[in-house]
Amino acid sequence: MKRNRQAGFGLVDMALSIGLVAIAMMMIFALYRLGRADSQSFAAAEEVIDLQRRVQDYYVEHNGYNDPSLSDALLLARNLVPDQMVRGTPAGVRTRWFSAVAAAPIDATTFRLTTSVPKDRCYDFVTRLSPHFRAIRLDSGAGWTDAALDGAPLNSVIAAQCSSRASVDVQLDSA
């Protein structure tokens, strides 16, 4: 007597299929998170560059940066802050990581923006900003260190500073 075998999936076939789909989903999710983090660093850098341009335009019209009242409050009052950087209650100038952005004049030709950046976003953020600022300094707890000068990033310094603690303070001097 012959046995009739039914065609179709067995329990092992189904478990194998589910396992392969689960592995593929994990890889897709990991790539999505990586791409999202990268795009967030890019967007934050673009917002800071936009803020820099707006402040520079304002001070070209007002004969330099010698105004000691340059602050985030002045930036907000003069509508110089990109809409995406106005966050929090009360409203303040903040990055995508909700770190406050402080603005201050250094001399008649230079102003400084200071903020904090999460460790995992620091390297991309700083290297994207380096061509747009005269100087970038980082402080991960041991004092300020030059990370970019005249648009040239110092990659070894950036890597060392950005990997040392959870949040890195960044100073950006205008060009």
What local confidence, expressed as pLDDT, does residue 59 receive? 77
Task: Say what percent of the chain tops pLDDT 70.
Answer: 87
What local confidence, expressed as pLDDT, does residue 20 receive? 92
- Give the number of C-alpha atoms closer than 13 A to the C-alpha of residue 75, restricted to the C-beta side: 31
Instruction: Give the confidence band of 57 by pLDDT, cuts at 50, 70, 90.
Output: confident
In the predicted structure, residue 4 carries a pLDDT above the cut 70: no
Its pTM surpasses 0.85: no
The CA distances from residue 148 to 54, 98, 117, 155, in Å, are 22, 24, 16, 8
Q: Over the range 143-156, which residues count as b (16 or more CB within 10 Å of their CB) and which as e?
A: eeeebbeeeebbee
In the predicted structure, residue 25 carries a pLDDT above the cut 70: yes
CA–CA dist 161, 175 (Å, integer): 23
What local confidence, expressed as pLDDT, does residue 51 receive? 87
What local confidence, expressed as pLDDT, does residue 122 receive? 84
What local confidence, expressed as pLDDT, does residue 151 receive? 72
Task: Say what percent of the chain tops pLDDT 90.
Answer: 3
CA–CA dist 11, 77 (Å, integer): 67
Q: What are the helix (H) ranges across the chain? A: 11-61, 72-77, 119-129, 155-162
CA–CA dist 36, 84 (Å, integer): 17
pLDDT for 62-107, tens place per residue?
Answer: 776 666 677 778 788 888 888 888 877 777 888 888 888 888 887 7
DSSP three-state, residue 50: helix
What local confidence, expressed as pLDDT, does residue 6 receive? 66
Mean pLDDT of 134-162: 82
Q: Which domains does the chain have, with CATH numbers?
A: 11-174 (3.30.1690.10)
What local confidence, expressed as pLDDT, does residue 2 receive? 63
- Residue 63: Cβ within 10 Å count: 9
Average pLDDT, the chain: 81
